[in-house]
Amino acid sequence: MLNADVVRHASHGTASLRKKNSPPNIILILTDDQGWADVGFNGSKDIPTPNLDRLAGEGIIFSNAYVSHPYCSPSRAGLLTGRYQARFGHDCNISKEGYEDETIGIPLNEVLISEALQEEGYRTGAIGKWHVGDHPSLQPPRQGFDHWFGFAAGAMNYWGRPNGPVRTIFRNDEEVPAEELHYLTDDFSQEAVDFIQEDPSAPFFIYLAYNAPHAPDQVTETYLDRTKHIEYGGRSVYAAMINAVDAGVGRIDSALTALGIKENTLIAFLSDNGGRITHADNRPFRGHKGMLFEGGIKVPCFMTYPAVIPSGKVYQQPISALDLYPTFLSVANSNNIKADLAGVDLMPFVLNESAGRPHDYLYWRSVGGFEYAVRFKDHKLYKSAYKEKTLLFDLNADPYERNDIAAQHPDMVGKLQQAYRTWDAENLAPGWLDPHRENVLLEEQRWREVRSRSQKNRKH
């Protein structure tokens, strides 16, 4: 019987190295719908990201980093819990009933990384977009965060103008008047700096979840002036929104340096899913946000921890966003790493103390199996609702998923289908309907009509 769980790794050498240092501060920076190629450290030539590129060069770039879902809320649920979100039925975006229904979102019995780090004495702050529970009982102050500044919904205008109870900026449980806000990306960056400066002597954890570069496309002239070389207007605005994030990360890095705590601060950066369908660049990978092709689930990612991680490293084996939870607990010298976490501690791999792959198997499920994918070593199976077929790729020979080899390798198809069924047997059905499912079905119908017309034209 195939083992659907990943193997966990331990390293006494890494643990002893880290125990020489006090527990590090941890900053988890998440962008929203950013394309894999939309940072300089992954090859972007048009979007200026000097601060992100410099930080990436000071640590380790994960060139093969995956998230656990191709769109926002489920991906964030996996990241924050360290578990496949399908294990607790969270593989859909938050439905419209979320504010009235406290069962829609990450359940309170799930232990978030914020709660685990609180137990280790960390100050915890959530800043930015939440989107894993609209109901007040599921928002950050009830999910292990000492401080919250942000909004609960999946999207928000960049000026902080309220539009309903979940599209309002809160500082803890108090609504922030719109006239006190400026440009949200800048506001979120400044809040992170203020949180760091409040008490730099105690270890802190910041979950900084920018809503940029998610729509709506809104940016200030300051950042737009830095991307005026991009002639395509939509791409120019999108790029400026990313540059605003980059500038904010630079201010945070400067604050850490000024306080003398940069060496003992771990920063992890990634996007919540593949780039949005408009203006983002996921090349050279196939697909985009919402799809289980590489372009929908592979994201820009790096980690820096100057006291421990050497600079200038690139790690090429596949990793998962689910690995960050156990990695954070490991560097915090925690002895309370739960057995049901899906990820692994990345530090032994980062420090060359453990050879091989962190994962043999990785899994993805959308809307209860409407679409799913399995990666086993270099083979990837994708049951695509859009294509109405099950595809198989050899990612070693064909990293850009150009050639479906399912017909030539039925045994591998059967093996990975069984692996998915074994893994999925431990999952729950979706706890609520995905608000985007209707759009997905409409898109599927549109493609069926296009294919039908194409087939008729070929016959004639």
User: What integer pLDDT is reported at residue 244 of this predicted model?
Assistant: 97
Could you tell me which residues come within 8 angstroms of residue 120 by beta carbon, excluding any fewer than 6 positions away?
A: 23, 203, 329, 332, 333, 334, 336
The answer to the question of residue 6 being in a domain is no
Q: Are 174 and 279 members of one domain?
A: yes
Q: Are 49 and 73 members of one domain?
A: yes
Complete DSSP assignment for 270-290: EESSSPPTTT---TTSS--TT
| CATH number (domain holding residue 338) | 3.40.720.10
* Of 443, 375, 445, 460, residue with least CA distance to 415: 375
Cβ atoms < 10 Å from Cβ of 452 = 10
446 vs 37: which has the higher pLDDT: 37
Q: Are 384 and 294 members of one domain?
A: no
The answer to the question of residue 1 being in a domain is no
The answer to the question of residue 5 being in a domain is no
User: What integer pLDDT is reported at residue 21 of this predicted model?
Assistant: 63
* Region 68-91 average pLDDT: 95
pLDDT band with cut points at 50, 70 and 90 for residue 202: confident
User: What integer pLDDT is reported at residue 432 of this predicted model?
Assistant: 86
| CATH number (domain holding residue 399) | 3.30.1120.10
User: What integer pLDDT is reported at residue 2 of this predicted model?
Assistant: 30
Q: Write down the catalytic residue from 72, 90, 92, 359.
A: 72
Q: Are 297 and 395 members of one domain?
A: no
* Region 127-135 average pLDDT: 94
User: What integer pLDDT is reported at residue 126 of this predicted model?
Assistant: 98
* Region 225-235 average pLDDT: 92
User: What integer pLDDT is reported at residue 4 of this predicted model?
Assistant: 33
For the question of residue 301 being annotated catalytic, the response is no
Q: Above 50 in pLDDT, residue 425? A: yes
Complete DSSP assignment for 102-135: TTSBS-TTS--HHHHHHTTT-EEEEEEE--SB-S
Whole-angstrom Cα Rg for the chain: 21
Q: Are 346 and 406 members of one domain?
A: no
Q: Write down the catalytic residue from 69, 90, 131, 379.
A: 131
User: What integer pLDDT is reported at residue 455 of this predicted model?
Assistant: 59
Q: Are 175 and 93 members of one domain?
A: yes
Are 63 and 44 contacting, i.e. CB atoms less than 8 angstroms apart? no
Share of the chain above pLDDT 90, in %: 74
Q: Are 269 and 381 members of one domain?
A: no
Segment 15-54, tens digit of pLDDT: 444 445 689 999 999 999 999 999 999 999 999 999 999 9
Question: Residue type for 209, please?
Answer: A
Q: Are 411 and 340 members of one domain?
A: no
Q: Are 196 and 256 members of one domain?
A: yes
Question: Residue type for 264, please?
Answer: N
Q: Above 80 in pLDDT, residue 436? A: no
In which domain, by residue range, is 324 found?
23-350
Backbone torsions φ then ψ of 139, nearest 5 degrees? -80, 170
For the question of residue 92 being annotated catalytic, the response is no
b/e sequence 84-116, b meaning 16+ C-beta within 10 Å: bbbbbbbbbbbbeebbebbebbbbeebbbbbbb
User: What integer pLDDT is reported at residue 298 of this predicted model?
Assistant: 96
Q: How many domains does the chain have?
A: 2
Segment 291-316, tens digit of pLDDT: 999 999 999 999 999 999 999 999 99
Q: Are 343 and 400 members of one domain?
A: no
